[in-house]
């Protein structure tokens, strides 16, 4: 009998119908890496998933569903995006956040160990560092989350670190700073109309889809008085995920890596950049500080370049803002 060629191994992407997960599915597809996604469409959209990728509609907290998909699709690695992401909501409903972000991650990791999946790329967040005044924030900065969202993510990080030596589960934990922008080819973008992220809200205000942008706080200890953040283009972030997967598939060791450019922009710089790329004025008002906003969060971003060979391609603020605006324009008003 002739040998059948082995079926390619698939990566299971949880939350692939969401903002970041859908960009990663496109990056995987572009790189010829087969994937399958589980998404309950609570905030995601079916249309965001590339046609070539099977979408299994369901909950990542279901051990039965996970087993079915992992066995049925020949899954050898997981990228875990599914979760709840709104910081103030996590303060109001902490247990819902621990359930969706921590308990469901436990179910997923347990399924991986049981079914022999030994590689995980995990979506973590700069929120694990809390309100640190370190500039820049490297990966050795002590973690001290100040809200249940950050704590729920840090708990999953800890499970991964403990499961490594005990079960041979290798992981790349990616701590995202401020993710923004949209696929340069216009295939996907941030589509949640109620999203609270600065660049999204500023684009909506510019297009008249919100009355105005509120600039939260002008008396911070920064050069222009507004908060500074490290905005990373979602397509560069997606590429980092592909590299993390390849690192693990080559047998690479577990890593914890910041995802940012190591450079900050203030709220006013973002607004000015949007005005320059659009040639229009952003309707904006000055407002009080938003509770819990640290003045400055900039990534120490050397490690990801050294360990994964990641070279950002879209790191100009004007490109990030231009892609976000083009995507926003493409959405029905």
Ligand X SMILES: O=c1ccn([C@@H]2O[C@H](COP(=O)(O)OP(=O)(O)O[C@H]3O[C@H](CO)[C@H](O)[C@H](O)[C@H]3O)[C@@H](O)[C@H]2O)c(=O)[nH]1
Pattern 137-176, binding to ligand X, x per CB under 6 A? Answer: ---------------------------------------x
Helix and strand numbers, DSSP H then E, in the chain: 11, 14
255 bridge partner residues: 172
Of 231, 220, 225, 294, which is closest to residue 262 (Cα–Cα)?
A: 231
DSSP string, 168-213: --EEEEEEE-EEE---TTSS-----TT---HHHHHHHHHTTSSS-E
> Pick from 17, 111, 198, 259: which binds ligand X (CB under 6 A)?
198
- 40 forms part of the interface with ligand X (CB under 6 A): no
Judged by beta carbon distances under 5 to 8 A according to partner kind, the member of ligand X, ligand NAD, none in contact with residue 41 is ligand NAD
Of 175, 122, 173, 127, which is closest to residue 151 (Cα–Cα)?
A: 127
Q: How far is residue 195's CA from residue 98's CA, in Å, rounded to a whole number?
A: 21
Place of tokens 């590429």: 239
Please report, as ranges, the residues that interact with ligand NAD according to CB under 6 A: 15, 17-21, 38-44, 59-61, 81-83, 85, 100, 104, 123, 125, 176, 179
Judged by beta carbon distances under 5 to 8 A according to partner kind, the member of ligand NAD, ligand X, none in contact with residue 293 is ligand X
> Pick from 14, 152, 178, 254: which binds ligand X (CB under 6 A)?
178
> Pick from 11, 215, 244, 320: which binds ligand X (CB under 6 A)?
215
The residues, any chain, with a CB within 8 Å of residue 215's CB and separated by 6 or more, are 226, 267, 268, 271, 284, 285, 286, 287
- Mark whether 97 is an active-site residue: no
| The one catalytic residue among 19, 149, 176, 261 | 149
Give the footprint of ligand X on this chain (CB under 6 A): 85, 87, 125-127, 176-178, 196-198, 201, 213-216, 227, 229, 267, 290, 293, 297
| Active site residues per annotation | 149
């Amino acid at each position: 009998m002739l040998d059948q060629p082995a079926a390619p191994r698939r990566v299971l992407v949880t939350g692939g119908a969401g903002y970041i997960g859908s960009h990663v599915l496109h990056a995987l597809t572009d790189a010829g890496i087969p994937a399958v996604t589980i998404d309950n469409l609570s905030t995601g959209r079916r249309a965001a998933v590339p046609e070539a990728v099977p979408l299994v509609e369901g909950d990542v907290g279901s051990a039965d569903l996970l087993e079915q998909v992992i066995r049925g699709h020949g899954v050898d690695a997981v990228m875990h995006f599914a979760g709840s992401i709104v910081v103030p909501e996590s303060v109001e409903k902490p247990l819902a956040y621990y359930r969706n972000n921590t308990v469901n991650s436990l179910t997923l990791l347990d399924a991986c160990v049981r079914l022999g999946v030994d590689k995980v790329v995990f979506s973590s967040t700069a929120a694990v560092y809390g309100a640190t005044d370190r500039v820049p924030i490297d990966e050795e900065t002590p973690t001290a989350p100040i809200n249940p969202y950050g704590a729920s993510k840090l708990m999953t990080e800890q499970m991964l670190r403990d499961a490594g030596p005990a079960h041979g589960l290798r992981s790349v934990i990616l701590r995202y700073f401020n993710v923004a922008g949209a696929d340069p080819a216009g295939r996907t973008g941030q589509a949640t109309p109620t999203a609270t992220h600065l660049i999204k809200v500023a684009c909506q205000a510019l297009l008249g889809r919100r009355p105005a942008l509120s600039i939260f706080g002008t008396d911070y200890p920064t050069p222009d008085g507004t908060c500074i953040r490290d905005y990373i283009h979602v397509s560069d972030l997606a590429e980092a995920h592909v590299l993390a997967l390849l690192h693990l598939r080559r047998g690479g060791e577990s890593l914890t890596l910041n995802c940012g450019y190591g450079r900050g922009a203030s709220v006013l710089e973002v607004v000015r950049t949007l005005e320059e790329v659009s040639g229009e004025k952003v309707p904006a008002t000055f407002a009080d500080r938003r509770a819990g906003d640290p003045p400055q969060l900039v990534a120490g971003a050397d490690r990801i370049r050294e360990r994964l060979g990641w070279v950002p391609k879209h790191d100009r603020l004007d490109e990030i803002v231009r892609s976000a605006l083009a995507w926003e324009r493409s959405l029905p008003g």
